[in-house]
């Protein structure tokens, strides 16, 4: 089964056959879901959960990734937790130390 991924900057995925927008009828787009465009083409889609990499912290323990246009979050590279703070708190999930104390 082929799963077509799309990024958060798209409000809806596009049909790989005709390019039409596919209505997203799911509350959990990070898991594969079936969608049909207005022309009747049905495919499996999945929101790409990992955003575009923007930068690494000084130590490399954290990476900043895009979540939406003009928005980003820090990810802990040790455990994958989103919302980490490389400057003061570090990672609340695994305890990775921040870069600057």
Task: Give average pLDDT by consecutive 10-residue segment, the chain, 101 residues.
Answer: 77 89 83 93 85 85 82 84 90 89 47
Instruction: Specify whether the CB–CB gap between 76 and 57 falls below 8 A.
Output: no
What integer pLDDT is reported at residue 101 of this predicted model? 47
> Which DSSP string do the residues of 37-89 spell out, in sequence order?
-TT--EEEEEE--S--EEEE-SSSSEEEEEEETTEEEEEETTT--BS-BTTTT
CA dist 55 and 20 (Å) reads: 33
Q: What is the pTM of this model?
A: 0.51
- Model pLDDT, residue 26: 82
Given this model, what pLDDT does residue 27 score?
A: 78
Residues 5 and 45: beta-carbon distance below 8 Å: yes
């Amino acid at each position: 089964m082929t799963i077509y991924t799309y990024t958060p900057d798209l409000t809806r995925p596009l049909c790989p056959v005709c390019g039409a927008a596919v209505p997203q009828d799911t509350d959990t787009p990070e898991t594969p879901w079936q969608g049909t465009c207005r022309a009747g083409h049905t495919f499996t889609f999945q929101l790409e959960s990992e955003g575009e990499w923007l930068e690494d912290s000084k130590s490399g323990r954290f990476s900043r990734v895009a979540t939406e246009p003009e928005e980003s979050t820090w990810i802990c590279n040790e455990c994958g937790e989103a919302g980490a703070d490389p400057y003061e708190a570090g990672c609340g999930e695994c305890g990775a130390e921040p870069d600057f104390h």
